[in-house]
Structure 1
């Protein structure tokens, strides 16, 4: 029944834009089991404690001054899909505004592709720090997708509470980055808008896209470093099992991840963490936070490959 409703929503995509976002949300949720959100008072308190403890430890280890976002939500998969439909709609709006009338067939294909992507991600995302790019105001948000956290903990045969806490530390490190660098959201938005403007003119702005990729490599790599350095329990078994799970995906799931660019995100994790590990080994963990001083202290792609170049330039 869910698949039927999903296909029907995509087939009925309407409007003048390239994507019918209402149909995207309906189709993605119809194809996705929302999962259980029966959270006990004890578990809810556990999430709150994990986030608070992660904030305190990341402040201490990273020597960063930041606060948690006002919005911290325990979600099921449909909640996450709704939040990210809104994000994608904002990001795509500049392109849609430039688009002329889109034939119905193309709109259906675009709508179906986006619904498929969000359904796949909704079944796999564990937590998300959302800087709410291109949104009005300065509010950020932190989401935990409870059904996915519990599902993956079961698959890895690890304690639910311990795994949840590890995920909380990872997401709070992103809050630390954006909180310690108030300019970071604006910098990413400007880079995205430059790339989108060039794209609507029929040009692919490789410089802007490359800069955005380098910034995201720094964002993901720093989170990986600080997640491990700040976590207040053993984590080697968690990281090993997560890495084995990634490598053990079936061919269809791996193909989907590649199409969605998730393989690239893993490369960002690995390259970024290697950069920050090298800086931390040479100058200490606190020195890695210099990256967030200003846009000028972000590493270049060459510096990520050769961390000593960044050290010589920023912290000689």
Structure 2
């Protein structure tokens, strides 16, 4: 269903170059990001109250093509088994043509996203010695944004690392979370057949031609798929909102210019061009921005009522995670868990 090699070559070919930096500047950025990632560990651990190992997570400072390659590796590992089943049931000719089309489209989408993402914790990667997860920091994008915002580079790099370190802690302090998310993805894929995949390709094409407005979250519409999307949305809203709350809560202690960074970063996010807004909608990024906001409001409301220890009950098991409805109404979660 997906030609992974074509996706990789397409992504590398279409990814745009980053900002101009000299070799010396590039080396300095890499070193500062590594230092910032290490510095963020203590403050995040103290603020969240979550205990996580600090020496088992590779920290990779990457460029855009390397970010694309890393994500394709994780995608193929996560989606491969389910896609292989679809391959077995599809026509060989359709499989070859569909795999090329899907591979090219996936590579193009990742090339687009690769110029926007600042950092990422990849929970589904497994290292050669079985170590789970890795932290990716996309150096050219971080440099590009800090220049556009005209903020202190060292402060901005630490601020970004606080967010990504929070994601690392969420997963490494709660190992069951990785398998839980993987299970949701696998359930979703089990509900998808080759006809559904063809429908997705067709709808994306129509959206790109301007025939319809479309968000990726609207592509799959069976009752079971909507249920699974709702479960995933609740988890992702929690993770993103929690990371935003932590980076702003820790920030004043360790990032002197955090108020300026947050103000300018938010203003830039809200003043996106019409083209940027279209891209965000097509890629589901508008939904991700809502996840930051809704998740952060949930976390703050629960911490205000129950304290950080009371909030940390979310990490007990899959049953204590909030649903999307509970994210939107924290009182529902509080009454269920802390009745």
TM-score, normalised to structure 2, is 0.81
The DSSP-based 3-state class of the residue aligned with 2:272 is coil
* Kept after mapping to 1: 8 A contact 2:302/2:311: yes
Q: What are the residue-to-residue correspondences of 1:117-128 with 2, within 5 Å?
A: 117-128=109-120
Question: Corresponding residue for 2:162?
Answer: 169
Where structure 2 has 5 or more consecutive residues not aligned to the other structure, the ranges are 197-221
Q: Please state if 1:57 is matched with 2:77.
A: no
- Determine if contact 1:77/1:123 at 8 Å carries over to the other structure: yes
- 2 CA distance for matches of 1:26 and 1:37? 26
- Which of 262, 283, 291 lines up with 2:285 in the alignment? 262
Q: Does 1:156 align with 2:149?
A: yes
Kept after mapping to 1: 8 A contact 2:125/2:134: no
1:47–1:165 Cα contact (<8 Å) kept? yes
Name the SS of the counterpart of 1:74 in structure 2. Answer: strand
Aligned mates of 2:180, 2:190 — CA distance in 1: 15
Asked if structure 2 preserves the Cα contact closer than 8 Å seen for 1:303 and 1:309, the reply is: yes
1:195 to 188, 196, 200: 188
Which secondary structure does the structure 2 equivalent of 1:185 belong to? Answer: helix
Pair 1:298–1:258, CA change in 2 (3 A): same
* Native 8 Å contact 2:313 2:320 kept in 1: yes
CA shift in 2, pair 1:112/1:126, >3 Å: same
* Contact 1:133–1:189, Cα closer than 8 Å, also in 2: no
Distance 1:295 1:255 in 2: 34
1:164-221 CA distance string (max 9 Å, x none): 1100000000011101211000101111111111213966522222111111111111
Kindly indicate whether residue 274 of structure 2 is the aligned counterpart of residue 287 of structure 1: no
The question of whether the paired residues in 2 share the 8 Å contact of 1:90 and 1:134 is answered with no
Correspondence 1:116 to 2:136: no
- Paired with 1:257 and 1:98, the residues of 2 have a C-alpha distance of 29
Deviation at 1:272, TM superposition (A): 0.5
Matched, 1:309 2:297: no
Partner of residue 212, structure 2: none
1:19 aligns with 2:42: no
1: CA distance, partners of 2:126 / 2:83: 13
